Amino acid sequence: MAETARLKRSPATKRVSEALSTLHSLNVPREQQNERSALTLLALSGMLGITEMMDYFQKHFGKKYAPNTRETVRRFTVHQFVQMGLVLANPDEPGRPINSPDNRYQVAPTLLKLAREHGSPSWDESVKGFVNSAEAPRRLEPRERTMELIPVRLPDGAELKLTAGGQNELVKRIVEEFCPRFTPGGVLVYVGDTGTKRRQGGLVFVTGFLTRRAMMKYLSEIAWETEVWIAEAPSHIIHFNGERFLGPYE
């Protein structure tokens, strides 16, 4: 029985070994020459998200990772593979935000072609050509990455750019639409911690949302005596009770 199980696992074990050999031949950093990285490389012949990759590991190679190791796969294998040019991030939609739950990854076509030659008479020459090519791994050296950025016009006319996704679209709306309407001089003031000195005139606490639907999700958590601003209705503000409207409480 044990011998039969071993024989059934052998094709998968061979594929993992070949993937490890490929990574070694490409001189990737030692931190990415491990079983996790080999499984990731094998899984990404298709286009998958991190959770889908982990499901693939279990289904095809019998390797089960705990759900809380998802970030380990992303941060210590996929991220490095993307940086080295071995894996493409969101080839179906390059503008997808970096923190999107819909992020997808796929092995680079040139690497896929190389991997299919593993064990062939031309393997050594193919690896040499790949490493010497413009698309070869760069040992995690910093390199320019083209990504979608959100331009934000500050009240003083200066411009800065934020990465797409997350709360940055809301930050843009707050800076460009809320500040000029509701804050003196178009300056938004916030408190970072309890050690922050209070400015003359006191503090006003404002919670921003892109939509009313988004506000409803957190309605029970909004504190009394604070303000709420919704980007889809930029000319209005909601005051949560109290004696004063858009004013500090001493």
187 has pLDDT over 80: no
Q: How many residues does the chain have?
A: 250
Q: For residue range 208-244, what is the model confidence (pLDDT) as tens digits? A: 888 888 889 888 888 888 889 998 888 888 888 766 5
- Whether 93 and 22 map to the same domain: the answer is yes
194 has pLDDT over 60: no
- Whether 24 and 121 map to the same domain: the answer is yes
Higher pLDDT: 215 or 246? It is 215
Report the percent of the chain where pLDDT is more than 90. 1
pLDDT confidence band for 86 (50 / 70 / 90): confident
Using DSSP, how many helices (H) and how many strands (E) does the chain show?
10, 7
Q: What is the DSSP letter of 78?
A: I
- Whether 157 and 230 map to the same domain: the answer is yes
- Whether 70 and 23 map to the same domain: the answer is yes
DSSP H/E element including 236: none
State whether the Cα torsion 237-243-244-250 is positive or negative: negative
Angle at 61 between CA 55 and CA 67, to 5 degrees: 35
Higher pLDDT: 31 or 202? It is 31
Domain span at residue 217 reads 149-239
Task: Report the C-alpha gap between 82 and 109 in whole angstroms.
Answer: 13
DSSP-assigned states of every residue in 132-145: HSTTS--TT-----
Residue whose token pair is 């693939």: 56
Q: For residue range 15-53, what is the model confidence (pLDDT) as tens digits? A: 888 888 888 888 888 888 899 988 998 888 777 889 888
226: domain CATH number is 3.40.1350.80
Task: Point out the domain boundary residue: 79, 100, 132.
Answer: 132
Task: Report the C-alpha gap between 95 and 58 in whole angstroms.
Answer: 30
Task: Report the C-alpha gap between 177 and 208 in whole angstroms.
Answer: 11
Question: Is 116 within the bounds of a domain?
Answer: yes
93: domain CATH number is 1.10.10.1820
Task: Point out the domain boundary residue: 132, 159, 176.
Answer: 132
- Whether 165 and 198 map to the same domain: the answer is yes
What per-residue confidence (pLDDT) applies to 191? 41
Task: Point out the domain boundary residue: 70, 100, 132.
Answer: 132
233, exposed or middle or buried, with CB in 10 Å at 0-12, 13-18, 19+? Answer: exposed
User: CB of 73 within 8 A of CB of 140?
Assistant: no
- Whether 18 and 114 map to the same domain: the answer is yes
- Whether 32 and 121 map to the same domain: the answer is yes
DSSP H/E element including 69: none
Domain count, the chain: 2
DSSP H/E element including 238: strand 238-239
- Whether 78 and 44 map to the same domain: the answer is yes
What per-residue confidence (pLDDT) applies to 201? 54
- Whether 161 and 209 map to the same domain: the answer is yes
Residue whose token pair is 């931190």: 31
- Whether 113 and 166 map to the same domain: the answer is no
Least confident window among 111-120, 131-140, 211-220? 131-140
pTM: 0.51
